[in-house]
Amino acid sequence: METKTATKLTSKIIEFHDFEKSDALPSEKDNDVPGPFRPYEKLVPIKIMGKEFQVPEKNSLLRCFQFISPETIPYGRFCWNQDCQYCRVECKLPDDDETREMISCKFMVMAGMEIKKVSPELKGCLRGVLKR
């Protein structure tokens, strides 16, 4: 005989399994995005080392990297609180002429930003999506 907790857990596992089988990334219509992403209403364009991607607004740049490469970024050596410095990037903001260095776990993504250079740890994690 199953308890209420076991029943809830079983239904969550089934929901996760169904999501896992879909092979689809969350879209801009998914306001209740599963996982680590903050809720968003639309995807915004950014460039990473010359290649254009659509990423969720209202999320840190590191979370956006995770959005485009969900199978590698979670396994990088990132602390997610700026202590490690492994997520350092150089980028040009849409309203700025200069390239600036920043920590991607602390900076919120902006439409039209261009990431010119990434740390070696990020480069390793993103190599699959940057080669496509």
11-27 per-position pLDDT tens digit: 444 443 344 444 444 44
pLDDT tens-digit map of 78-104: 999 989 999 999 999 999 999 999 999
Band (132; pLDDT cuts 50, 70, 90): confident
Band (43; pLDDT cuts 50, 70, 90): very high
pTM above threshold 0.75? no
Count the Cβ atoms, other than its own, within 10 Å of residue 74: 12
In this predicted structure, the answer to whether residue 5 has a pLDDT above a threshold of 80 is no
In this predicted structure, the answer to whether residue 56 has a pLDDT above a threshold of 90 is yes
According to CATH, the topology of domain 43-132 is: Ubiquitin-like (UB roll) (3.10.20)
Q: How many CA atoms lie within 13 A of 36 on its CB side?
A: 14
Q: Which of 5-9, 28-32, 33-37, 105-109 has the highest mean pLDDT?
A: 105-109
